[in-house]
Structure 1
Amino acid sequence: MRLPLIGTLKLRGRLTWYVTLLTLVPLLGLALVGSANTQRAMSHQVHEMLRIEAEGLRDLVEASLVERETSVRSWAEDTLVRAALRTGNAEYSDSVLERLQLRYTTFAGLVLFDDQGRAISASTEALRDAFRGQEARVSQTPWFLAAQQGRVTSETLTEEDPIFAMRVLHLAVPVMDERGGRRLGVLLAAYDWGQVGEVVKAALARAQARKNTSFALEVRTASGAVLFDSREPGAARAPHPVIEQALNSSELRDVGDGWHFVALSDPAEVYAGVKRQRTLFLIGTLVVGSVVLLLTFLFARDITRPITQLNQAVSRIVRTADLTQKLDVRSDDEVGELAESFRQMVHNLSETTRGMQRGTRVLGDTVAALTRAAEQEESNLTRQAAALQETQVTAEEIRQTSMLAAERASAVLQVATRAEELGRGGALSLQESMNGFESLRQQVEEMSGQVSQLNERAQRIGGITLAVKGLADRSNMLALNAAIEAVRSGEHGKGFAIVAKEIRTLANQSINSTTQVGTLLEDITQSIQKTVALSEQGQRRMDEGLAQARTSGDSIQALSDIVKDNMSAVRQIATAVSQQNAGFEEIFNAMTELSAMMHDTMMSLQATQRVTGELRDVAEQMQKMARSYRV
């Protein structure tokens, strides 16, 4: 191959350039490979460092949020906090919230709201006064609505809170009544979001120690909104920084699930050392190249001098076709040996010329046989190419079928994944239903006990009524005897007879009232007994329903296990189909390469035929050349 510039030079110039290039190209290659390896290692180190910093920030913030949210939920279960919402008396809850804020300084304030958004208690009196009259606004805030639903949101973290005059994370949880299970209100703990800056100080200090002033940490939501940025508001930002980020997963449930913790740095600053090293490599290569070029020129001049003399002698032989001329080249190295060999070659050339005529005839016969064999080979290759084309079409059809199977396996995998999620959700719902049945069964047992006590008291009242009736009967008898004695007494007993008559009337009324009360008590007792019977029957049915719910729960759990097993099987099938698809892809690629090789073989055969024709022409030319020399 003749290069555009080097190919036009003489041997001395080409030798100079070749040696120079042979020296500089490996050197440049080593320099480029070393620079690339250094940059690759530096890039890996930078990305690994940023990844570690991002994951460290994620772990610290996640642990802090989980701890704070757990603490707030435990505070919401405090007896004094619940009492403040039930009674409206915040004397004791104020002291509780005040002590909590003094202990946990990362919170900007603690406020207790009722279910309508009215501030009942706060860690400071000023904070409670600030929320006074804000019921309508508070009840419509995202964090208050989320707390009523039993969850915590970070939707308002991107803006400054007007009450706290800073960016705070509203950790709001519902306060539930421990007896009835109803919601009493909401407890708000405003986490000072500026505390995240204290968390990242150690990472920023490590970056400063590495002379990496452009290092920064960010916290972003899933939508990309920036929640925290360690850089100053007016600081310059690199257009295309090196970025690594860590995702806050839902393994630990907290308000930060889905956040992205980003560590970034300016690539110009990070890779500045690599650029300096590359510049030094290039300067050193240019210096070495200049020295090598000078030394190679001097070396090539000494080597090419005897070759030039030999070239002049050979040129004379070529012009005159006189093989009897003598060569006069003085050199003790390989060039001298070459001149001696050339003299011997000229001597042998005359003998070769005579044998060349005989060889050309044999060569002609051989070329004819080679031509016939090439034609036969071309016919065979044509049939093989047709068969290979059909095989390639079949391989393409198999590949399309395999791709379709892979897509269907992926769809089955998605359906199985959905079934597994539904199974887990059904198991959780059934567990919650069983818990509700258990609570209802306990309430029925309590009601049955109370009805039994009522039955006992009704029986006691019946006994008292019987005693009252006995007293009334005795009073009636005494009044009758008193009336008889009054009649016997004559005029003196008339007044006593009137009193005895009234007592008898009252005794009769008492007997009638006692009889009515007894009848009513008997009806109440029968109703109570029926209620007890119905309660016992309802309790038995409740136990049977609870047993059936447990059986259903076991069945759903077994179904969930089966779905999990099916999920595993579907994954294995999808993996096998993917591997099969990859295998068919490799077969198709191999058939494509084989087709290309067959095409290359056909081209080579055609080239062989052309070479055969050229050999025929060469044989004829050799005959002419053999006759042109004088021997």
Structure 2
Amino acid sequence: MHLLSGLKLRGRLTLWVCLLLVAALAPVLATGIYIIRRTVELQVQGVLQVETEGLRDLIESSLQERETNARAWTEDAILRGALLFGTYAKSDAVLATLNDRHASFAGLVLFTVDGQAVSVSRPALRDAFAGHERDVLAAPWFQAALKDTLDPAILTSALTRTDPYFARPVMPLALPVLSPVSGARVGVLLAAYDWGQLRQVVEGALQRSHDRGQSSFTLDILGPEGSRLYSSRTPGVPPPSQVVQAQALNATTRFAAGQGWRFAAEVDADEAFLPLRRFLQISLLAVAAFLGLAAWAAWALARTVTRPITTLSSLVSRVVRDGDLTQQVTVGHTQDEVGELAASFARMMDHLRESTTSLQQGTRVLGQMVAELTTATQQQERNLLQQGTALQETQVTAQEIQQTSQLAAQRSQAVLGLVAKAREAGSAGETTLGASLEGFEELRDHGVRLAAGISSLHERTSQIASITQTVKDLADQSNMLALNAAIEAVRSGEHGQGFGVVAREIRSLADQSINATGRVREVLDDIRGGIQATVELSEEGQRRSEAGLSQVRATSESLHALTDIITDNASAAQQIAAAVIQQNAGIAQIFTAVTDLARMMDETLEAMQGTQRMTESLRGVAERMETVAGVWRV
């Protein structure tokens, strides 16, 4: 607050308005940022959760489809016959055809129960498995196939390493081939699902994330123990320091190998919340622009408020510095506190000019009286002997004059009181007449609006009458149509009886419509008559309002003229009262002097000299008063 005391009123107003705006906007902006950030976080988390669950459903359905395909292939008659009869030429062709149709498999291999690869979809696989019968027979997936099971642990662990036969990570979907006759196991079909083909499965989700501008979006598949089975992140690219992640657990049994898998989707936090940061930047720029505009508006408002005060301050400075009371107060005619201050200051300047004028006039009168008193003193000194004989008569006369002067002073004060009351009454009358004039004008405007509403109502009743005539015409036409229908019904004989009943009902309804329209027309005629009468009354009231308004205006002008006359009389009465007071003081001095002459006749000469000294002192006072009064220009 001590720092603000050094600022001017305009600066303090601008600063306070800006501080109030900042205090009002700060909590709103903070709350909005928190809500928007929370909404964006929930939105990003929801999108990631949807992508994660979509990846889970997509992988589950894809692997289930592959398992279903593999089980269907184990029942193929050619493959069974190849194992039973040892003819593998056709089985190689079948496996090659199936592999070409389902390119997601790295290869299809048919084994005997002793682990020998007897039929393959690609010739290179035969060479890869040649001589590895013991390894195949000991492989966990082969042992599980002989038991007709798909062990989730075996399938999951196979995805974490490169298969030595296929030279890539594959999921070994190994299933037994049963004899169609005895149902005994005659071999094992290995359908090696190429795990690298998973990129094509998740390509749609990755493309959607790239379309959203999230280039760091990745999809991961984690095993039950947390081992990473798949990641869409480009090899060699380091993970971001802060990520937003969502996971979905595979708890279904649609595919045995997928039990316990966790599907995760993550994106760089900076990239996910980039729209939020941009929004915050734009919001801060908008708030800064708003605050700048508000500061300019506050400065303009403060300038508008303080301009009249500055004008008054400069006017007072000129009056104090130059003593010029002729300055006029011109700060506009506003109705606020500043306007009231300017009006009060203008009245103060008027009173000050009047007081200064009266002071100057009194000073001149005092100087004249001092000169006259000096002359009279000299004359008295010359005519001292003559005054002795007429002293008694002069004393009596002076007493009577004093009483008369006192009575005149009392009457002048009473006249001043009456003039003040008359001025107040005139001001109150002007205010009352002004309110009456406004009331008459509002009454006239209300009459005009009422006449316009009644005219509109009259037009609406005319429209309703036209509509009623149209309804009556339609009812007449319906009556004619019903009559024609009744004639046709009579001509039709027995077959037209029902039509005749309908025709009679239509005629009845038409007659009712005609009667109703007649009644409506009568009501409308009554309404039109009432509206016409109301219009005439409204016009008459409007003419009387105009006449009353003219009379009130004339009365207001007369009262204003009377107020001006009262003001002039008040000024004259004040001057008369001042003159009477001055005259009373002079008469009192004369009476005192006469009494002293009567009482001290023997000391007349000494008293006369004292009077001369007093006259000189009074002349000095009068000159000093005249000098002080001459400082101000009026």
TM-score normalised according to structure 1 size: 0.44
